[in-house]
Amino acid sequence: MKANYGYLDGSGEYFITIDTDLCIECTHRACVEACPEGMFEIITDDYDDEVAAIKEEHRKKVKYDCGACKPTTDRPPLPCVVACPPGAITHSW
């Protein structure tokens, strides 16, 4: 299952997607530590699996909270994506 955290407004779609089927396989949980804004947390989902999620207080402002990692030019790889060995994390913008 893919969990989408973020929002859609007049300027675009801003979602962080976590593929929970891939996330379940990860034992490192490095995304939690990799995010400089502390946006990630580990939760127990509806199927009693531990998976990453975006904290509630960040969900309606992911574009802004991810801003430090997303310069407009010469964008380096995103820390949360790099820290995720199974490749479960993607960004829509």
DSSP strands (E only) in the chain: 2-9, 12-19, 40-44, 50-54, 89-91
d(CA 65, CA 21): 25
- pTM check: above 0.75: yes
pLDDT digits (tens, 9 = 90+) for 55-82: 999 999 999 999 999 998 899 999 999 9
pLDDT digits (tens, 9 = 90+) for 80-93: 999 999 999 999 99
Strand partners, 4: 17
pLDDT for 72 equals 85
The share of the chain scoring above pLDDT 70, in percent, equals 100
* Domain span holding position 23: 2-91
Instruction: Specify the CATH number for the domain of residue 82.
Output: 3.30.70
| pLDDT-derived band at 27, boundaries 50, 70, 90 | confident
Domain count, the chain: 1
Kindly report the length of the chain. 93
